[in-house]
Amino acid sequence: MVNDLVDLMRDSADDAPPDDVDVAAVVTTARRRVRRRRGAVGAVALATAAVVTAGALTWGGPGTGTDGPVAGNPPRPDAPVLRLADAEAAVAGRDYDELTSYTNEDLDADNGQYLDGVTDDGLVLFQDGPREANGRTTTYALMDPATGEKDWLPDPGIGQAQVWPAQLGRDRLVLLGLDESDISDDGMEADLLAYVFDRDARMWSTTSWRDLPRVEHALGDVGPDGRLYVTTPDTRGAIPEGGWPTGPDGDAEDADAEGDTYRLWSVSLTDPTDVRDEQLVVGDVAFTETAMVWTDSSNGDAGRVHVRDLASDEVTDFDPDTGERCNLLNLGAVGDRIVMSQYCGTYAEGERDDRVQILSTDGDQVVTIQDSDAVGWLPRGSDVVNLTVHTDDGDAGTYVYDLRTDRFLRLSDTLSSWSVGGSTGEPNQFFWSTPVNGGKGATQHLAALRD
């Protein structure tokens, strides 16, 4: 999905918030690709816009604090370490096969059409985003990636609302959004809505849950039990007195921040009265087929990692040994692997300690990819860790790390300004994007790594 915040950025240019935007609401589950900041613009307000440029999400607030970059080099993780320079250049036809692609020539001018994810039976969810050409109404098709043939679905009744796929199954599609007609007074919370498409009946239905507290983000995971797991706000990390200091790049230097916590709930997608408080305070949450994984907090110091065996209900936990000045951006899990992307502090000469940390569910350190501006995520259904690097030096581009083979590949040395991605139908699949038209547009690619 590509999310357009261009108009919002322009409207806010004369009165930018004092800190960077919290972008948790403008990316999908496991796709929080741009480091998050605590800012004055609420998540619900952001969710009403439609395209996001990744580079535009680094408003720097001039902090007055005294802590800033640390002298010396970033500390080496207590794990096998890869740097971006260790990645091997990927070759199409040898390392991966492109399954399909789609190009929007000018996303600066208008919204476009996007590849939003892959269903469990291998079809691409194709979104026609709200724009003047379609009456500003979002519609969807299921596209065969081999032929490009599209089966257009009935109008879901979403209009211009922003939604994110939570499940792309063989039997149903589940998209999550926020009830923008009833937003909290502070603009930070709203009721959650689920738009569910029954693929056999070819009908959409909309579900909400009266007993579910308001949420900050239209994000959630469908667990192996078929229930939708969502989080509601519990505590929010505080901005230090005097504000965040400013790093050498002009951004707020909020490394090693106090994290946010949430209460975990689960709901039925078929019964709006079935709402369960899971009696658990979490940071980020991820599921494998056999386990639930969560951290103590998110968007700050992650704390400990907890793993619950879904068969026995036994819970184990461990210290992930994240960096001394690292904030958790996102969490992913598949099989016996856990992926933690962390935005860390700045050291001498502007070098950053950003990390994509891969661990086992037993807490063993598998490998850490450590380099400036490296941001990673694990798409739902995939064994391929995606990394993007937004820098002005030679490291910029898209990378992938294959959890099955431990291959570390560089796909490109250019990076689109437009965020893309989604869940995948097969473990070896991944999305990436390249810029076109001088960066005004982008080509989305769906590819599969070769064994």
Is residue 74 one of the residues assigned to a domain?
no
Q: Taking residues 304-325, what's their average pLDDT? A: 96
**pLDDT for residue 293 is more than 90:** yes
What is the value of pTM for the model shown?
0.86
Q: Taking residues 325-347, what's their average pLDDT? A: 95
| Cα separation values, 388 from 102, 151, 351, 433, Å | 19, 32, 17, 10
Is residue 1 one of the residues assigned to a domain?
no
Nearest Cα to Cα of residue 222 among 230, 214, 213, 212: 230
Half-sphere CA count of 224, side-chain side, radius 13 A: 14
In the chain, the number of structural domains is: 1
Is residue 68 one of the residues assigned to a domain?
no
Nearest Cα to Cα of residue 338 among 364, 310, 314: 364
Q: Rounded to whole angstroms, how far apart are CA atoms 2 and 163?
A: 11
What pLDDT does 124 receive?
97
Domain extent at residue 144: 6-63+80-449
Is residue 300 one of the residues assigned to a domain?
yes
> How does the average pLDDT of the chain come out, rounded?
85
Q: Rounded to whole angstroms, how far apart are CA atoms 128 and 257?
A: 38
* pLDDT tens per residue across span 229-271: 999 999 998 888 888 887 777 777 788 788 999 999 999 999 9
What pLDDT does 171 receive?
96
Q: Rounded to whole angstroms, how far apart are CA atoms 127 and 134?
A: 12
Is residue 73 one of the residues assigned to a domain?
no
Banded pLDDT at 67 (limits 50, 70, 90): low
**pLDDT for residue 280 is more than 90:** yes
Q: How many CB atoms lie within 10 A of CB 321?
A: 13
Is residue 71 one of the residues assigned to a domain?
no
* pLDDT tens per residue across span 129-146: 998 888 899 999 999 999
What pLDDT does 239 receive?
83
Pairwise pLDDT comparison (20 vs 405), residue with the higher score:
405
46: phi then psi, degrees, rounded to nearest 5? -65, -35
* pLDDT tens per residue across span 176-194: 999 988 887 777 899 999 9
* DSSP reduced 3-state for 46: helix
* DSSP reduced 3-state for 267: strand
Pairwise pLDDT comparison (70 vs 172), residue with the higher score:
172
* pLDDT tens per residue across span 442-451: 999 999 999 8
What pLDDT does 65 receive?
39
Any idea what the CATH number is for the domain that residue 355 is in?
2.130.10.10
